[in-house]
Structures are given as C-alpha cells and as structure tokens.
Amino acid sequence: MLSRSVPPQTTLQTLKLGPSFPLRLAPELLELHKGQEVLLPFLHHWPSLTSLDLSRSLHLTAASAPIAAIADACPGLVHLNLTTSQGPTAVSKNRARVRDEDLVALGSLGRLQYLGLGGYSGITAAGIEALADSLPGLVRLNIACSGCTRRALERLLRSCNRLEVLVVSQCLQLLPTDVPQACAAAAGPRLTHVTAKDLLWARPLQDTADPPDSVL
C-alpha cells in the first residue's frame, strides 16, 4: 500500500503498477500505468507525467478518479487511456457514473495526442461532440462508447482532422456501414488506419455473411 507520507516525486514521468505487483518508481521515464485507484491522490506530485493509463482500473468513477483532477494535476499529458478491456456487458455501475460533463476538463490538455475512452454508459453523443471540439490535436483515438452516433462520429472526424488512427468499438448505435461512410464524408487527409468492431449488426435474414471486424 502506498503511504500518504511518500515525498513528492516532481520529476516522475513513468510509473507502472499492475493489480498484483509492488510499486516501482522510475523518475525519468514517460508513462504511468496502474491497476488500482491508490495512486490518484498523488498525481499532483507528478506534474511531468506525459502518459497515464487507467485501462486496468475497473472502478473508475467521477468520484474516485475525477477527470478534472487528472487534467489539472497532469497538464502535459500526451497519452491518456481511460478504456476498459472488460467489454460492454461487464461495465460496472460505477463506471457508468462518468458522464458527458466530466469530459469537459479534457479540453485543458492541449498536448494530448492519444485518447482511449470507453466503457462508460453515461457518455452520450453530445459529450462526444463536445469532446471533439475541445481536442483538435488528437492523432490516435480509441473510442468505445455505446452513446456514439454517426452524427457524433462525423463531428469528431471534422474537428480532429489530424487523426491518423481511429478505433471504434462497442458503439451499439452504429452500423458497420456508418464508420466508413462517416470517414468518407468527414475524415481529414491523415487518417490511414480505421478499425471498427462490436458495432450494432443488423442484416436481413437472407444475408448469411459474417459482420466485418475491421474497416481499413
């Protein structure tokens, strides 16, 4: 357990912690990876963090890990991963408490280039559109939100015209055809890699083809 008496590590840029591994500090590297919320109260000691990975944190909520506090404590973030790997059926009630308004704070991360966002049923198309307008510098985006619509996706692509890689999954309001059509209508010239999976798959009964896993 990390004690609150730990002195500030103002130069810390890399910290990796798995759910069952001891804490290790590496003061001059470039990322934070963690599996539990125990480190969140200490983020303000490490303003030099450029990468924060909370993808293994299964109980991330607006209360336990306020996005506003993360953005305020680590203004230089380039890489931020808030995506769960548990799939849409395993999203906990706690994770659903991250809402549209919690995303507004991400707009203060002017250096952010990679964002992984998924597993939050409280995020709607309106939140995704607002997020797109506030982060035009994104280069890589992994979005897995059931509230994402084709309109929100097109708004995102128009606003984030520096995107090179887009991964869309668990967006149950999107048909597989919506993703390539949205890219054709709104994507910037740098977008070269698009993956779409776990979308709403609607097909006529006579169609026996399998749903596509990716759109390139």
pLDDT tens readout for residues 85-116: 554 444 444 444 678 888 888 989 999 999 99
Question: Within a domain: residue 86?
Answer: yes
Number of domains observed in the structure of the chain = 1
Question: Within a domain: residue 21?
Answer: no
CA atoms within 13 A on the CB side of 99: 3
Question: Within a domain: residue 187?
Answer: yes
pTM of the entire predicted model: 0.75
Provide the CATH number for the domain around residue 61.
3.80.10.10
pLDDT above 70 covers a percentage of the chain that reads: 61
Domain that holds residue 162: 49-197
Asked if 49 and 34 touch (Cβ cutoff 8 Å), the reply is: no
CA atoms within 13 A on the CB side of 210: 5
Question: Within a domain: residue 204?
Answer: no
Which of the pair, 193 or 24, is modelled with greater confidence?
A: 193
Question: Within a domain: residue 32?
Answer: no
Question: Within a domain: residue 132?
Answer: yes
Question: Within a domain: residue 70?
Answer: yes
Give the per-residue pLDDT at 60: 55
Which of the pair, 66 or 89, is modelled with greater confidence?
A: 66
Question: Within a domain: residue 211?
Answer: no
CA 196 to each of CA 40, 115, 119: distance values in angstroms, whole numbers, following the listed order: 32, 16, 16
Which of the pair, 216 or 147, is modelled with greater confidence?
A: 147
